[in-house]
Amino acid sequence: MGGISGGHFNPAVSVGLMVAGRFESKNLLPYVIAQLVGAILASTVLYLIVSGKADFAGIGGFATNGYGDASPGKFSPASALIIEIVLTFLFLMIILGSTHGRVPAGFAPLAIGLALTLIHLISIPVTNTSVNPARSTGPALFVGGVALQQLWLFWVAPIVGAAFAGIVRKTMLEKD
């Protein structure tokens, strides 16, 4: 999908790239809308699959993100905020670094994919892993309740982490 959209599936990534000067601000809103539509469609497909089980009794958690009682490990809102900011920051630093023109072509997908795998392994017990506001929104719309009430954190934290990475990359690391 990189050849079509640059591989933008995540509003936080789009924001981080924009802040770093690698993505035009005029494209941000259309991309975010497309990312949200994609996430909602993906959640719809997932719902259609899980609801086909004979003893289906409702969506349950549906891999929604959360803190407090909605966290897999019952982590606090502060813990959720910190891990989502830090891991999104690191994710964007890897994306920005591995896609820089001075880096050999072809390795970015491997670095990005492995980084995202590690991020999930670290943060699933804390928040069920967001680092992607669209990914958090799709399931939350199906689950409702606490998932929607806590969704704000899974927009704010990834965008803050991504924007900070964009600032760091642009001001400290990409001086040519």
Residue (of 34, 44, 132) closest to 88 by Cα position = 132
- Per-residue DSSP letter, 25: G
DSSP 8-state code for residue 104: P
Closest to 12 (Cα-Cα) out of 111, 150, 156: 156
Residue 101: per-residue pLDDT: 82
Sorted by where each begins, the domain ranges of the chain are 2-173
Question: Is pLDDT at 176 greater than 60 in this prediction?
Answer: no
Tell me what the mean pLDDT of segment 163-170 comes to: 96
Predicted pLDDT of residue 7: 66
Q: What are 96-146's pLDDT values in tens digits?
A: 999 988 888 888 889 999 999 999 999 999 999 999 999 999 999 999 999
**Per-residue model confidence (pLDDT) at position 29:** 97
Interatomic CA distance for residues 75 and 106, integer angstroms: 38
Q: Residue 8 above 90 pLDDT? A: no
Q: What is the CATH number of domain 2-173?
A: 1.20.1080.10
Check residue 173 and give its pLDDT. Answer: 78
Q: Which of 56, 79, 53 is nearest to 66 (CA)?
A: 79
**pLDDT surpassing 70 at residue 175:** no
Residues of the chain above pLDDT 90, percent: 78
For 53-86, what is each residue's pLDDT tens digit?
Answer: 888 777 777 889 999 999 999 999 999 999 999 9
Q: Which of 44-58, 96-110, 158-172 has the highest mean pLDDT?
A: 158-172
